[in-house]
Chain A
Amino acid sequence: MRIAHIFSVAVLMWVTAFCPAQESKVGNLTGHVKSGKALYKRYCITCHGVHGDGAGENAPHLDPKPRDFTRATFKCRSTASGSLPTDSDLFETISRGVFNSAMPPWRPLTRRQRVDLVAYIKTFSSRFQEEKTAVTLEVPSEPQSSPESVKRGSELFENMNCWSCHGKEGRGNGPSAHTLTDSKGYPIVPFDLTSGMQLKCGDSSQAVFRDLMTGLDGTPMPSFSDALTTDQAWDLVHFIESLQSPGGKRSFLAKLGAKRD
């Protein structure tokens, strides 16, 4: 039984007069634009630019490029592909940083400072005022991994054409890999699933599940929310995890990455 729901952009486009675009909410903290702006000018402006368009003074020297906030397209979300991230999603990305890029983990900033930054970042795109935040994907509980689950996952890896980008062995060298560009036209490489490196949106099994079901917007990595059932998605997660070198190097990192402040 496939998850069959229609992603309709128009349904989510509301002019919500009561939605406070000047604030962000994460947990019991409320962030404010004015404080966030001062923090942005100290910490973020050099890469993300004074207009939030990813054209800061360092941008020409960076790969991958800094996020263009004016597009409101974000990789790491808990919402459907094409939707805005939640305030929590932005907070998590700021805290965790983006591994294998120039974006550091800003965890040393206080929680309040990070929530303030989320509020300011949202001012760079009118989409945050025009659209209601989409429904958050709830990651269901993970079934136990098993050799059967991994085998089913490997069949899905074949049928869903994951290999065309990620390669038959998951090393990121599939036949389409060299053609890939991100949405700004810059070359982008598929993740090498065998590398043991930390994933950009978190390392836990739940994070991998979420990556599959929401996609990484702005990149060639699609959402499989209409293509996979929950069980199939977990099978694929188990297969992906089996591609790691044995010895638990990644599982240790996964445990570290799973902790949140």
Chain B
Amino acid sequence: MHAIPAFARKYNLRCSDCHEAWPKLNHFGQTFKDNGYQLMTGRDAPIFQQASYFPIMFRTMPIWHRESDNRVPTDIVPGNRASGQVETTLTTHAFDISGVDIWTAGTLYKNITFAVQPAIDNNGKAHLETYFVRFDNLLNSPWLNLKVGKFELDTLISEERELFLSNQGGFYQSYHFTPIGDRTSFGFGDHQLGAELMGHSRNSYTRYSFSVLNSSDGQPNSVSNSYDEYADFTQGFELPRLGLQSIGVYGYLGQRPTYFQTSNGAPLANAGLGSRTFSRIGAYGLWYFGKFDLSTFYMHGQDNVFLGNGVPANEPSKLPLAAAGPTWNGGFVEAHYTYNPQLILVGKYETVQNSRPANPTVRTALGDVKVWTVGYRWYPIMSSRAGLAWHQEYARARTTGTAPLTGRDDTASSFLMGFDFDF
């Protein structure tokens, strides 16, 4: 869920009312979201809108970007495989488009919320990123809200609403990290399929959520006959003169099959066997000091030894000697300086470090990653109807030991500038 000018049009509020700098939500916007995209002024039900109001918006970004990677294996003589390979730095740059996010979201009725997001990538291929129905304020209480469908996991630091767009900086490494050789298909930032019970105090200082999700990382049409669980809890508190601070803890407990039933030797995709568990637990915080604020995130990841080594659970002899369940720790600090509602400076430093490898013969630090990103967004217009931003960003990522030929560190960088518009 990004920044939704359809809401601005429905409620006659500017982007800056709900977003510090869209798409990042401020606390008023977070409360609006927790209420089921309702302001609770008695006019949330669609009957109060003009019949011609249609809750649709789209967001897209025409940009220019430059990518560089210093460990790309290339033939020494182009076109001649036999000439041998060497790692070279490859730099490319071009205009590009980001794809289009189309959102329709709002209320079907008082306290019945919906959202549908078909996303079209920059090759024109569409998929359904989000779709859900949510029953808000059950028993007239903000502590009970039930969401069913495909949705992002509840957290105050959403990858959907990141202020970074580049190839290297535009996602959270921690949200997608899988150790080398690990077969677990899961991303903390991926949209999951299931049901979520969520509740919040009226001003959303206290929040909890509990979800039951398919063990399929959000893929539809996969009857996996097992379920993952996710829970998070956040608490806000005011510090005098500084503002609202929020801290949260979360945990995801999942399982994935390590082999499948077969029929005539062919695996039956929906009949998984030998499920083993994995977990992602951690904490996050939002820290506000006037115009300056920090988002901090920590994750401890752990996958089962069979998942970590890609070995079916019914063949333990295939495990390497002294194999273990891989563990890792990741986290980031993201800083923002909101000069005014129309200019924000951003920076981020993130690292994920393996703590225990699945295969003890593999170097522990293999696949560790460190990324730093800086940028800014300038919003030349700030209205209650649509949004436009000018974005510039530079990101540099260093991955330990993943250079394919030499096993050295791989450094990749992105520079991006362009327009981000939202109607």
Tell me whether chain A's interface is mostly helix, strand or loop, or mixed.
Answer: loop
Asked whether A143 is an interface residue with its Cβ less than 8 Å from the other chain, the reply is: no
Contacts of A113 in B (CB 8 A): 243
When C-beta atoms are compared, the residue in chain B nearest to A197 turns out to be: B42
Q: When the two chains form their complex, are residues B39 and A252 in contact, meaning their CB atoms are under 8 A apart?
A: no
Which of B8-16, B161-169, B267-275, B345-353 faces chain A? B8-16
Q: How far is the CA of A101 from the CA of B12 in the complex (A)?
A: 11
**Residue among A41, A99, A108 making CB contact with B31, cutoff 8 Å:** A108
Asked whether B28 is an interface residue with its Cβ less than 8 Å from the other chain, the reply is: yes
Q: When the two chains form their complex, are residues A110 and B140 in contact, meaning their CB atoms are under 8 A apart?
A: no
Interface hits, A218-261 → B, CB 8 Å: 252, 256, 261
**Residue among A41, A47, A105, A107 making CB contact with B341, cutoff 8 Å:** A41
Asked whether B41 is an interface residue with its Cβ less than 8 Å from the other chain, the reply is: yes
Q: When the two chains form their complex, are residues A46 and B41 in contact, meaning their CB atoms are under 8 A apart?
A: no
Asked whether B402 is an interface residue with its Cβ less than 8 Å from the other chain, the reply is: no
With contact pairs A42-B16, A62-B12, A111-B238 given, residues A100 and B41 touching in the complex (Cβ less than 8 Å): yes
Contacts of A97 in B (CB 8 A): 39-41
Tell me whether chain B's interface is mostly helix, strand or loop, or mixed.
Answer: loop
Min CB gap A170→B, angstroms: 19
Interface size for A (C-beta < 8 A) is: 33
Min CB gap A175→B, angstroms: 27
Per-residue CB contact flags for chain A residues 28-57 toward chain B (1 = under 8 Å, else 0) read 000000000010011101110000000001
Q: When the two chains form their complex, are residues A106 and B41 in contact, meaning their CB atoms are under 8 A apart?
A: no
Contacts of B202 in A (CB 8 A): 107
Interface residues of A (CB under 8 A from B): 38, 41-43, 45-47, 57-58, 61-62, 97-113, 197-198, 252, 256, 261
Interface residues of B (CB under 8 A from A): 11-14, 16-17, 27-28, 30-31, 39-43, 140, 202-204, 238, 240-241, 243-244, 340-341, 383-384
Instruction: Report the 8 A-B pairs with minimum CB-CB distance, sorted nearest first.
Output: A108-B31, A58-B12, A104-B39, A107-B203, A108-B28, A100-B42, A46-B14, A42-B16
Query: What would 30 A/B residue contacts be, using CB atoms closer than 8 Å?
Result: A38-B340, A41-B340, A42-B17, A46-B17, A46-B384, A58-B12, A97-B39, A98-B41, A99-B42, A100-B43, A101-B41, A101-B43, A102-B11, A103-B41, A104-B41, A105-B40, A105-B41, A107-B203, A108-B27, A108-B28, A108-B203, A109-B27, A109-B28, A110-B238, A110-B243, A110-B244, A112-B241, A198-B42, A256-B140, A261-B203
